[in-house]
Structure 1
Amino acid sequence: MTTTDSTQSVVDTDTFTVTRSIHIDAPAAKVWAAVTEPEHISRWFGHTVLDGSGAGARGTMSFEGHGSIPLKVESVDPQRSVSYRWGNDDALGAPPAELDEQASTVFTFTLEPVGGGTRLTVVETGFEVTSDPLGNLESHRTGWDSELDKLVALLESA
C-alpha cells in the first residue's frame, strides 16, 4: 500500500472540521467511482443506498451495529469533488431517522490527479451544530483514518 505521503486526519477545533489527505496509487476515474457510486462506496465505507444520482439525491448509509444514517448528495463537480450531508447521532448515540439539515455535517471528497495516482482529500464540517461537537470531531477523525485506509487498500489491491 502506497501511503507514505498520506497523513492522519486532523481536527481543527476553531472551525469544527476534520481533514485528511491521502495518496492512492490509482487513476482519478477509479477513485471517483469509489467515492460516488453506491455499490463501490459500500465496499469500503458504509452500505450506501441512494435514490437517484447527482446533487439532491437522498438515501442512507448503514454501518453494522449502528443502523442507518440519512444521507444527501449536496453537490457534485464531476471527476473533481462530491459533497455529502449526513445525520449525526443524537445525545443518546442513536442515528437520526431523518436528515436534519440544521444538525448535520457535510463531508467533501476532492480529487487531484498526481503522477500516476490520485490525491484524495476529505473535509468534514459542521460539527458545531451536533449534539456533542468535540466528541463527534474525535469520533469522525478516527473514523476517517480507518475508512480511508480501507479505501486505499481496496483500490491499490485491485
Structure 2
Amino acid sequence: MGSTDRTEAAVVDEGAFSVTRSIAIAAPAAKVWRAITEPEHLSLWFGRTVLDGAGVGTMTFDDHGAVPIRIESIDAPRSVTYRWSNDNALGRMPDEIDEENSTVFTFTLEAEGEGTRLTVVESGFERTSDPIANLESHREGWNIELDKLVALLGGHE
C-alpha cells in the first residue's frame, strides 16, 4: 500500500454542482451497508435518523435541527440514494422534502481487499439557495461525518 493515504478528503466539482468523497473502511461490505441504510446504525455516526416503512423521515443534527429525508432508490447491497432538503444557506429546514430545493446523495460500496471502498456523491446544488456556499458546507460535512463512520467501524485498511 505504501505511505499514501487511501482516504481522500471530499472534493467539490463546481461545474457539476457536486461533492464527492471516497474512503477505505476496514470492515466488510455487509457491515458498511447496515451503517448507511439502517436508521439505528445511521444514528450512531451521521444524524439521528427516523424512517417510516416507505423510507421517508428525518435526520436530526444538533446544529441544524430535523432535515427531511427520503430514500430515492436502493440497489442492495451496492448503492443507496437519499434525497434531503438540507439547504444550509436557508437558515431553516422545511418540514417535508422540497423537490425544487433539495439535493441527492448516493452511497456506493465496492469490496476492496478485506475491507470496503465507500464513495458518496451528492448533487443538485445548483437548485439550492446559494450553490457555492452549500457546496462548501457539504464538502466540510462529508469530511466530518465519514470520518465518524470510519472511526465507528474500525478505521482505515
- Determine whether 1:10 maps to 2:8: no
- TM-score, reference length from structure 1: 0.92
1:98 corresponds to which letter in structure 2? E
Shift of residue 51, structure 1, vs aligned partner: 0.4
- Shift of the alpha carbon at 1:101? 1.3
Among 131, 134, 145, the alignment partner of 2:132 is 134
Of 137, 152, 156, the residue aligned with 1:154 is 152
**Where does residue 97 of structure 1 map in the other structure?**
95
Which residue does 1:65 correspond to in 2?
63
In structure 1, distance between residues paired with 2:90 and 2:105: 23
Q: Work out the CA distance in 2 between the residues paired with 1:123 and 1:4.
A: 20
What one-letter code is carried by the residue in structure 2 that aligns with 1:37? E
CA drift at 1:28:
0.2
Q: Give the letter for the 1:30 counterpart.
A: K
Contact persistence 1:88–1:130 (CA under 8 A): no
TM-score, normalisation: structure 2: 0.93
Q: How does 1:21-100 map to 2 (within 5 A)?
A: 21-52=22-53, 56-89=54-87, 92-100=90-98
For 1:117, which of 109, 112, 115 is the aligned residue? 115
Instruction: Name the Cα RMSD after superposition.
Output: 1.4
Q: 1:14 to 1:38 in 2, by over 3 A?
A: same
Gaps of 5+ in 2: none
SS at match of 1:74: strand
Q: Whole-Å Cα distance in 2 between the matches of residues 91 and 76 of structure 1?
A: 29
CA spacing shift, 1:87–1:116, aligned 2, 3 Å: same
Aligned in 2, Cα 1:155/1:14: closer, same or farther, shift over 3 Å?
Answer: same
Q: CA distance change for structure 1 residues 30 and 90 in 2, over 3 Å: closer, same or farther?
A: closer
Distance 1:84 1:16 in 2: 17
AA partner of residue 18 (structure 1): V
For the Cα contact (< 8 Å) 2:8–2:21, is it kept in 1? yes
Whole-Å Cα distance in 1 between the matches of residues 52 and 9 of structure 2?
A: 32
Between the aligned partners of 1:32 and 1:127, the Cα distance in structure 2 is 26
Q: Secondary structure at the match of 2:100?
A: coil
- Aligned pair count reads 152
Measured in 2, the distance between the counterparts of 1:88 and 1:30 equals 26
* 1:108-156 superposed Cα distances (whole Å, 9 cap, x missing partner): 0000001100000000000000011000000000000000000000001
